[in-house]
Amino acid sequence: MPNREKLKPSFKIWLEYRGKPVLGKGGAEILEQIGKDESLSKAAKNLGMSYRYVWSYLQKIEKAIGKPIVDTYRGGKSGGGGAKLTKFGKSLLTEYKLMEARFDKLVPKKEKQL
């Protein structure tokens, strides 16, 4: 029997669309950071991820759901571009956070540890 002190239960929450996972904890962090920074590159940097990874993750979600979750725009002479969550992107993030909060109420912290 393994040492009980080293055992702990682990749970993951994600949202699915048509039976396929589309948004988990990491994706929610990405959307939240884009909402704060209004920039894909800044969000990627602040999360310690590559721009390419963040962009491809967003594309994967949008392809699975069939709706844009982020609006991007290019910068002009005055500066760089940016990104904002679409209304649907915001609702997707809100839904994930609600599920996470419900789970945290359902399974108190002390029960998550042995």
Rounded CA separation 110/96 (Å): 22
pLDDT of 53 reads: 97
pLDDT of 3 reads: 67
Instruction: State both tokens at 95.
Output: 């839904």
CA angle, corner 55, sides to 15 and 68, nearest 5?
55
pLDDT of 45 reads: 97
* Structural domain containing residue 33: 21-104
pLDDT of 78 reads: 59
Asked whether residue 2 is assigned to any structural domain, the reply reads no
Asked whether residue 84 is assigned to any structural domain, the reply reads yes
Give me the residues of the chain with pLDDT under 50, please: 114
Asked whether residue 96 is assigned to any structural domain, the reply reads yes
pTM attached to this predicted model:
0.83
Rg of the Cα atoms in the chain = 17
Asked whether residue 4 is assigned to any structural domain, the reply reads no
Please state the domain count of the chain: 1
pLDDT of 9 reads: 72
Asked whether residue 8 is assigned to any structural domain, the reply reads no
User: Alpha carbon of 100 to those of 14, 93, 106, 108: distances in Å?
Assistant: 9, 11, 10, 12
